[in-house]
Structure 1
Amino acid sequence: MTAENGDDLRSEMRANANAHAEASVYTLNNPYLTAFEKAQVEAIYQFPIGVMGFSFGALALFGEQSLYFAYLNSSFHGFLAWVVARYKPGNLVPPLGFITGGWVMTIINLALAGYALYLERWGVAAFMGLSAFGITSAVMLPLWLWHLDERRLPAGQRMHAKYLIAKRRWGMSFPFEARRPV
């Protein structure tokens, strides 16, 4: 192998690694989407997570369900919301996603946490308080469903779930897709 071939190989490997990194890591600073598109993608992505969180608080506080059953039932609601967000987001999911994933939901979750404290429902208060700041996301079924949706693609075509949402919604192709080896 000549030095020139080695440099070409290293350059190609670097380009492939960069393309993989771009596809795997989504940031709001990405150059591929407009501010409007980024907001829509975030709203669609956050919608089922917010539905699950709100559902948990409502069921645990007003539905008189145990933490366990409130969690199971809210997971089912989150699953249904994820199916809608994944397969048929239409024009209704983004506005709802701004409510279930934005400051409105933070305020609602904090209010539910405060009400749970008043009722001395410590577990519900803790969950809702942490949920207000996104700390409970790791135990939310919709987050895992987004991850599994992204993992179903062949290894050379995988990308972050938020890029997949943009791809489905607007039929986009991203520059990193062309640079990755299949």
Structure 2
Amino acid sequence: MGRFYFKDKRVDRLARKKGYTSYEIFYSPISLWISYYISMLFITITSIGFFFIDYWLECAIFLLSAYLAAAYLNHSFIVTQDKLIIVNTNFPFTKTTVYNLSEIEDIDINKSGLIPGLMFPFFILVGNYVRVNAHNKSKRFYCVCLQTECYDENHTAKTIEDLTNALGNQGLIVHFELY
């Protein structure tokens, strides 16, 4: 029996719709965050749930804020022979950014930049990002659910190290500074 991995089928549909034939997808699925968050929420509600009965509006605002933070911080990546496509399929931040590999100067993969104390209540524990430097412009794309290599404990089929290798195999300079 095969292992279950989280993926975002919306990224697959987008790749097919755009006509890409030979590509690799590196998922940063919000469904992974949602499963963690719902688990933690269930544990919290069952242990101190009666406290929240009087605070429905505050809880709703908090849950909406948590979703918006997670939706903004999850980008998936498609690597083709000549393009790097960065996709955020999460409402309301749906956006696709396409770079020709020839116009990319270098890529930084790092985790600094997010304030951990601000993201911890939303159960966002890391701030992994990929910064693409092209034409003297730099753009940062967070991918907090694209996991690092954990031997066989990953929840995504491809890891951020696999993305690093795929970009390096395309001849790009990749600065990997997660550890």
TM-score when scaled to structure 1? 0.26
Larger RCO: 1 or 2 (CA < 8 Å, sep 6+): 1
Counting strand residues as a fraction of each chain, which structure ranks higher?
Answer: 2
Give the number of the structure whose residues are more often helix, by fraction: 1
